[in-house]
Amino acid sequence: MATSEPIRAAGVVLIRSRRGKPEVLAVHRPSRRDWSIPKGKLEPGEHWASAAVRECLEETGYLASLGAPLPLLRYLVQGRPKTVHYWVGRVRHDSGFAPTQEVDEVRWLPPSDAAELLTYEHDHDLVNAASAMPATVPFIVLRHTQAVKRADFSGSSDQDRPLTPTGLFDAEQLVPLLDAYGVTQVHSSDALRCQQTAAPFAHWLTRAVHPEPTLSEIGFSADPQAGRDRIRELFQLNQPIVICTHRPVLPELISVLSQQAGMSELNDSITPALKPGGMIVVHRAFTGPQPTAIAAEVHQWPGA
């Protein structure tokens, strides 16, 4: 590995509620004699979000569901640039902490105490930012992965146009990324290419794919208002959800989302120009009568 190659890492500010008050998890690394936030380097071909969840689990025994993203960190390590992506995380499962040479102790602390214990100033800032955020529920809009070109498809209906071998492979690669956000509901256009994109994750969850005819190219073109109404309805669901749809439907879909509570301030964060397999993650807070969008992310992967 060239010494100038950037170091890529990801981490989680893990938060839980105890007796109605938040606590943050800090880890002790004996080799460095420091207290820090759970994080680690990406493995080859791994997405930042998947790496954040994996590293948190390996270091602490806690399986996290990612919430809103936190400020990106960039700094030098022995002359090499290092980039670290962080997210707020909530505990999904506790498999038990086992001390290792990498992490020998973990502590749950109130945010103010955690900030005081943590060795690095940038970790203090992350804890302060994370503890100020409400709990959120992800709403993910996914463009189907690579499909057979229209000109190369001989079927009678475009609804039946399938994914290419690359598209099928990429659909499998989406499983750990969708799981990083704790998605539990899978919805998809009823077109074959979208159903095939959603199928690996639904199979992994052992749940069915909910067909959404109004969000297919044909269905949306026939009745755009029905498609808009369905997106609004799904956005109201207090469940971690992914919806797989098509490139031509995305601009209208994003327009509908931008009209939802808080989304007008996030227009610069989202784009309908998703590549195959790309996704938009909207983090919603359900603290009032209507969900409020706290943050949004765009992941151009694995199609990038």
Per-residue pLDDT tens over the stretch 118-148: 999 999 999 999 999 999 999 999 999 999 9
| Nearest-angstrom CA–CA distance, 219 and 190 | 9
Sign of the alpha-carbon dihedral angle for 210, 215, 219, 222: positive
The pLDDT of residue 257 is 85
Residue linked to tokens 């590995």:
1
pTM of the predicted model as reported, rounded to 2 decimal places: 0.95
The pLDDT of residue 60 is 98
- Among residues of the chain, what percentage have pLDDT more than 90? 85
Q: What residues pair up with 297 in beta bridges, in sequence order?
A: 281
Q: Give Cα 219 distance to the centre of its chain.
A: 28
Residue 245 sits at the vertex; the CA angle it makes with 295 and 11, to the nearest 5 degrees, is: 35
Q: What residues pair up with 187 in beta bridges, in sequence order?
A: 210, 243
Given a cut of 50, whether residue 160 has pLDDT beyond it is yes
Collect all residues with Cβ–Cβ distance below 8 Å to 202 and sequence separation of at least 6. Answer: 186, 208, 209
Domain ranges of the chain: 7-131, 137-299
Cis before 302? omega within 30: yes
Please, which pLDDT band fits residue 262 given cuts at 50, 70 and 90? low
Given a cut of 80, whether residue 15 has pLDDT beyond it is yes
Domain 7-131, CATH homologous superfamily name and number: Nucleoside Triphosphate Pyrophosphohydrolase (3.90.79.10)
The pLDDT of residue 150 is 94
Longest dimension (CA), the chain: 66
The helix/strand/coil state of 108 is strand
Given a cut of 90, whether residue 264 has pLDDT beyond it is no
Neighbours of 194 (CB within 10 A): 30
137-299 sits in which CATH class?
A: alpha beta
Collect all residues with Cβ–Cβ distance below 8 Å to 271 and sequence separation of at least 6. Answer: 254, 280, 298
Identify which of 168, 177, 211, 147 has the alpha carbon closest to the alpha carbon of residue 279.
177
The helix/strand/coil state of 234 is helix
| Nearest-angstrom CA–CA distance, 234 and 139 | 9
| Nearest-angstrom CA–CA distance, 13 and 89 | 6
